[in-house]
Structure 1
Amino acid sequence: MKPFVVPFFWLILMSQLSIAQPFSWGQLPPVPDPVGFAGSVAGVSNGALLIGGGANFPDNAGPWGKTPKTWYDAVFALETSTGAWKKVGKLPRKMGYAISMTIPEGVLCIGGADGERHYADVFVLRYQNGTVSTKPLRPLPVPLANASGAVLNNTVYVAGGIESPTDTTAENLFLSLDLTKPDAQWQKLSGWPGAGRMLAVAGAQDGKFFLFSGTEVYQDTQTKTIKRRYLSDAYAYNPTQKSWQRIADLPHPTVAAPSPAYAAGQTHLLLSGGDDGANADKNAVLKETHPGFRTDILAYHTLTNTWTVTGSVSTDKKADAVSNPMGSTWAPVTTPLVVWNGQLVLPGGEVRPGVRTNRVLTASPVQQAGTFGGWDWGVVGVYFLLVIGISTYVARKMGASTDDFFLGGQNIPWWAAGLSIFGSKLSALTFIAIPAKTFATDWTYLFANVMIVVVAPIVAYWFLPYFRKIKITSVYEFLALRFNQRVKLLGSLTFVLFQVGRLGIVTYLPALVLSTVTGLNLMACIVVMSAITVLYTISGGIEAVVWTEVAQVGILLGGAFASLFFIANATGSFGSMFREAADAGKLHLVNQGWGITEPVLWVVLVGNFLSQLTTYSSDQVVVQRYLTTPTEAEARQSIWTNALLVIPATLIFFSVGTALWVFFRHNPGGLNPMGRTDDVFPWYISTQLPVGLRGLVIAGLFAATMSTISSSMNSIATVMTTDFYRHFKPKSSDKQRFRFARLATLGLGIAGIGIAIGLVYLQNASIWDQYLKLTGMFGGCLAGMFVAGIFFKQINSQGILIGFLLSAILLYFVQANGWVHFFLYPGVGIIGCIVFGLLFSQLFPEKKHPVKAIPV
């Protein structure tokens, strides 16, 4: 397949690949030493920045000067960025070149040296009431200096180093210590499949430990001198699988770069500067004319396994830098990297061989904004005017009745109802989260959506006829007829709780998009978008919601396919794109096995069959749509319309996620290093799509999401009015119920804002996972009541109440202990509800209910 020819758009696309400097640089007060230190330990304790120990040459002339290398034990603290350093205590001994990192208890220090010997000591520095104290921990099994380490999931990992100053080789030693267990021993793990090394950079990201670069130590066979071989290989350790994997080599060595590497966003590790070894053999000749170490910041992306240069360490070399190095700002090595108050801190270090600095550099992460300009805003404005126009037109002809507000007078055509069901499920959870999940993993979740095709005939021929026959507005009225009012109120309350949680998710995601694209404040985006949605939902009711969703379905699918077209063009062709993805395992579809805790094939199929059954049998948002049509036959057609649209839509969005992986694998510099995984598609839209088209895609996304929010609010308001307000105020008029429904919609909008703001701080890698867990937790037990009511006439109201509560308790423990994959949560809820319901119906028999169980 030949590449598409889109020269104009291609030029626009390629011109946008560069990303701005990811940090804003500054400096803290210098360390109170005229020369500064290399090899210090540093970290944060009780909010204060600590730095201790290290070594220097007091004349700052290196090994070619007149003073020998000197070691220190003083510990200094900086409580605020505008304050002054103060001496607060001492280390157990004079030492340097230990591993140090911040943990909840304080600054963890591991190993180290003093020029004569290396140490195995491990301790925590804790700062309190103006002084520092030391808490010893389990020592290393061997002494180590110049090693590297990082903390991952409360376990500290240590790699490499050398055991003594006279060693002729560096270690291929890999150790771990569980920090949650006071009596834990150091565990010796399998070493990485590469050379032993020291002065490497460690990092922790995406559930893995990473080891980058370093230098191999060896003895020259001819001169018998100790030499270093600078390395650029890298490795990732997966604690779950207990295995190493060699990953992409660095563009160049980064020996002794500040460690651990900075974990940016959810999928990047940033390495600042380092020694590439280019001048290693000339140090004795260059001496004070040495140019210093590298300044570029390398970004490693864990998902695409790629490297790119993203910005540089801020330096300022003055005219007298050779003779007066302290007057200039250099990129340091042999210093820890500390995160303090949201800033990266590089405290001192070595700036050229033997020369130290007392400067403390800071780097504040800069959240990148997409290139969203005037034409794009214009397109967004036009589309929003269309949405407002639809809702205004509908509002003018809508009567002030609950029948119009909740069911649109049952005058919605089947095709519009079907598109509306599809549009309400499309939303941001499809547009953003599915491509992000596929970008990060593979196609294992494909059957999660496709199972609707299996569920559709069951809903159309079993559930739908009974819902239409009993002429309900809220689907939970069925529970009152089949069981009693208490069962109905429990089902309605469960739905309200679930939907309010979902409302927060579908509010958060589009606000995240807008913030990513424009750089606007995320909180402001949540509030403004919710406010607009509440206004048109209150004014137009379900009919405005339906017709708005009809309008946006075509825009969204068209926008997604247009994005797929441009990504394929940028990578060569559809064929080459999918071949590359297949070779990397990104099209992997089926996980074999019979386990219940992983997304193996049977778990995906069974779990999502039950999940879809939950949604289409007991979710008011969906059921309310096919109650708006004039006849049962048209309602059945609306169900099939939605089911058949799901397949091409799912293929498009899964393909988009895979295409994004291929695109950014070839263009890693186009990624936002500070971004979340769920940002990846909107980030591509805002930075790579042509002007105008990106505005249209984003506008369609916002309209779709706002429609989804409005449909949730309308459905919750329907349940609250029909099942609660009318129950507790049976003599209320339709006008009063209509007024209550509008007030409830306003309150739901406020609740959605609060939950969305909470999700901002969750920082979860996959919002889709969270949504599926929420669906399983709340929806499974609810669907169990409907399945029991329709298919098991032996179950009575007492049995179903106890069955619901016990299955909810069971599901809580299942989730808390991770007994099954979250795809199976609905199955646990449904089966538990039925089994417990049957059992307790036999133990607590009831008189025959005046309304017979629905025959099957």
Structure 2
Amino acid sequence: MKKTALHSALFAAIAMTAFAAQASQYPDLPVGITSGAGALIGDTVYVGLGTGGDKFYSLNLKDKDAQWQEIAAFPGGPRNQPVAAAVDGKLYVFGGFTNTDVADNQLINDAYSYNPADNTWTKLETRSPRAATGATGVADKNKVYFVGGVNEEIWNGLFQDVKAAGEDEAKKKAVFDAYFNLRYQDFFFSSDIVSYEPATNTWRNEGHFPYSGRAGAAVELKDNKILVVNGELKAGLRTASTELGTIGKNGITWKKLGDLPAPKGAAQQDGIAGGMGGYTFGNYIVTGGTNFPGARANYEKGITDAHRTGGLKKTWHSEVYALDAKKGTWKIIGNLPQNLGHGVAVTYNNKVLLIGGQTEGNKPVASVTTMSYDGKRLVIE
């Protein structure tokens, strides 16, 4: 009798934390988009760039029969890993990598706004004081906050040196070896929290992020609190740490939260870059992303070229993590139906929408997946 009661209790607990997978309620993008950018304005989400070239698309989430619509092409040309955010009914796009006459994959620091009212783009008379590329942008009512970002001089110099090497493979190898053998501190990823206020066209230094610079972190802003989840410390090396910053009158105060737990069967959590998350029914959840399992262990042994040593394989993930806000700890609550990373995430009607991204082999995907979690049950559509 006791055994039966215990079995029933365990079954009920498992059932409450299980996830339900259903068909997606939103149409696929016209093309697969990874390493792009997007944001939500009212009931309409905007997504583009990356593998979408200079294209941007919009979808009215309120209309159950709506399809993606192509809007005016982005005037800055194709680019990867820009930052996008919405403020006061307009979409803002900053930076990104693009091919130039100088070299491929050059980081630029321009800025554009898009006005849905007349379907027009405007190049802004400003430039970011820190590299927006590789950063994550989050907006409140009147500002965009930037967390992390790669170093413009180091990144652009790398690909200029690669171009100068021409067809000499030995010279190219020497360039990349010197780059990958840098310590993570010597990548000089941005540790400044930078903000941009469109109304005044003003950039501000909002203070120092004391846990090392990041690229590709999952970041969310809610109730004057900035949540930072993992990210890349240097090429190929992620961190498992998470942090919470509170915006106050005297700047941002930070505290460290728990690390993400290791996936099933993994020796440790290597951290994720390109994770996607948001708030649902008051709960923050994050999923997906990529890493090189074993890179952290290599780096802790003093191997600075951590992900190439031993031929570590880039891995995409499907774990969904939920934050216990009171304890500052995380747990795995389920998995996506496929491994996914580097897409656009927005929150709408208590659901986190995962739009586009990439899966194994850097393959762009066009699907739109939604997640919701009420603290007991994860539902994926």
Confirm or deny a common fold (TM above 0.5): yes
Separation of aligned partners in 2, 1:214 and 1:102: 22
* 2:360 equivalent among 343, 352, 355: 352
Partner in structure 1 of residue 151 of structure 2:
163
Partner in structure 2 of residue 256 of structure 1:
274
SS class of match (1:55): helix
Partner in structure 2 of residue 84 of structure 1:
67
Could you tell me which amino acid in structure 1 is paired with residue 213 of structure 2? G
Q: What's the offset of the Cα at 1:299?
A: 0.8
Partner in structure 2 of residue 272 of structure 1:
287
Partner in structure 1 of residue 215 of structure 2:
198
Separation of aligned partners in 2, 1:206 and 1:12: 40
Partner in structure 2 of residue 40 of structure 1:
36
Shift in CA distance, 360/283, structure 1 to aligned 2, threshold 3 Å? farther
Q: What's the offset of the Cα at 1:214?
A: 0.9
SS class of match (2:58): strand
Separation of aligned partners in 2, 1:185 and 1:144: 15
Separation of aligned partners in 1, 2:310 and 2:34: 19
Partner in structure 1 of residue 224 of structure 2:
207
Shift in CA distance, 355/300, structure 1 to aligned 2, threshold 3 Å? same
Contact 1:160 1:173 (C-alpha < 8 Å) held by counterparts: yes
* 1:147 equivalent among 115, 121, 135: 135
Shift in CA distance, 103/340, structure 1 to aligned 2, threshold 3 Å? farther
Q: What's the offset of the Cα at 1:308?
A: 0.8
SS class of match (2:318): strand
Could you tell me which amino acid in structure 1 is paired with residue 231 of structure 2? G
Task: Confirm whether residue 312 of structure 1 aligns to residue 295 of structure 2.
Answer: no
Separation of aligned partners in 2, 1:124 and 1:142: 18
Q: What's the offset of the Cα at 1:53?
A: 1.2
Q: What's the offset of the Cα at 1:673?
A: 7.5
Separation of aligned partners in 2, 1:279 and 1:305: 26
Q: What's the offset of the Cα at 1:9?
A: 7.8
Shift in CA distance, 171/10, structure 1 to aligned 2, threshold 3 Å? same
Q: What's the offset of the Cα at 1:286?
A: 9.2
Contact 1:148 1:201 (C-alpha < 8 Å) held by counterparts: yes
Contact 2:145 2:194 (C-alpha < 8 Å) held by counterparts: yes
Q: What's the offset of the Cα at 1:104?
A: 4.0
Contact 2:47 2:56 (C-alpha < 8 Å) held by counterparts: yes
Please list the CA deviations of residues 185-215 of structure 1 after superposition, one character each: whole Å capped at 9, or x if unmatched.
2221332222222111111245310111111
Task: Confirm whether residue 121 of structure 1 aligns to residue 110 of structure 2.
Answer: yes
Could you tell me which amino acid in structure 2 is paired with residue 212 of structure 1? V
Separation of aligned partners in 1, 2:310 and 2:29: 28
SS class of match (1:123): strand
SS class of match (2:344): coil
Q: What's the offset of the Cα at 1:178?
A: 6.3
The 5 Å alignment of 1:410-809 reads 671-672=375-376
Please list the CA deviations of residues 577-632 of structure 1 after superposition, one character each: whole Å capped at 9, or x if unmatched.
xxxxxxxxxxxxxxxxxxxxxxxxxxxxxxxxxxxxxxxxxxxxxxxxxxxxxxxx
Partner in structure 2 of residue 106 of structure 1:
90
Separation of aligned partners in 2, 1:73 and 1:52: 7
Shift in CA distance, 302/178, structure 1 to aligned 2, threshold 3 Å? farther
Q: What's the offset of the Cα at 1:277?
A: 2.0
Q: What's the offset of the Cα at 1:262?
A: 0.5
Task: Confirm whether residue 17 of structure 1 aligns to residue 16 of structure 2.
Answer: no
* 1:29 equivalent among 18, 27, 30: 27
Separation of aligned partners in 2, 1:244 and 1:78: 36
Contact 2:33 2:48 (C-alpha < 8 Å) held by counterparts: no
Separation of aligned partners in 1, 2:204 and 2:3: 57
Q: What's the offset of the Cα at 1:310?
A: 1.7
Q: What's the offset of the Cα at 1:54?
A: 0.9
Separation of aligned partners in 2, 1:121 and 1:299: 35
Shift in CA distance, 151/46, structure 1 to aligned 2, threshold 3 Å? closer
Contact 2:87 2:144 (C-alpha < 8 Å) held by counterparts: no
Please list the CA deviations of residues 255-280 of structure 1 after superposition, one character each: whole Å capped at 9, or x if unmatched.
1112xx201223x3211111132287
TM-score (norm 2): 0.71
Unaligned runs of 5+ in 2: 100-104, 159-178, 180-186, 262-268, 296-306
Q: What's the offset of the Cα at 1:148?
A: 1.3
Separation of aligned partners in 2, 1:672 and 1:55: 36
Separation of aligned partners in 2, 1:673 and 1:122: 40
Partner in structure 2 of residue 183 of structure 1:
200
Q: What's the offset of the Cα at 1:282?
A: 7.2
The 5 Å alignment of 1:355-366 reads 355-357=363-365, 359-363=366-370, 365=372
Contact 1:283 1:353 (C-alpha < 8 Å) held by counterparts: no
Contact 2:142 2:199 (C-alpha < 8 Å) held by counterparts: no
Contact 2:47 2:344 (C-alpha < 8 Å) held by counterparts: no
Shift in CA distance, 86/204, structure 1 to aligned 2, threshold 3 Å? closer
Separation of aligned partners in 1, 2:4 and 2:322: 30
Q: Which has the higher helix share?
A: 1
Partner in structure 1 of residue 264 of structure 2:
none
* 2:191 equivalent among 169, 173, 177: 173
Task: Confirm whether residue 296 of structure 1 aligns to residue 285 of structure 2.
Answer: no
Separation of aligned partners in 2, 1:263 and 1:74: 28
TM-score (norm 1): 0.34
Separation of aligned partners in 2, 1:184 and 1:673: 43
Partner in structure 2 of residue 338 of structure 1:
346
Separation of aligned partners in 1, 2:356 and 2:98: 18
| Higher radius of gyration, 1 or 2 | 1
Could you tell me which amino acid in structure 1 is paired with residue 38 of structure 2? A
Contact 1:174 1:188 (C-alpha < 8 Å) held by counterparts: yes
SS class of match (2:227): strand
The 5 Å alignment of 1:130-145 reads 131-134=119-122, 136=124, 138-145=126-133
Q: What's the offset of the Cα at 1:141?
A: 0.9
Separation of aligned partners in 1, 2:281 and 2:126: 32
Could you tell me which amino acid in structure 1 is paired with residue 57 of structure 2? F
Q: What's the offset of the Cα at 1:8?
A: 9.1
The 5 Å alignment of 1:372-387 reads none
Q: What's the offset of the Cα at 1:14?
A: 5.3
Shift in CA distance, 15/28, structure 1 to aligned 2, threshold 3 Å? closer
Q: What's the offset of the Cα at 1:248?
A: 0.8
Shift in CA distance, 283/99, structure 1 to aligned 2, threshold 3 Å? farther
Unaligned runs of 5+ in 1: 1-5, 57-71, 218-226, 316-330, 368-670, 675-856
Separation of aligned partners in 1, 2:343 and 2:275: 7
Count of residue correspondences: 316
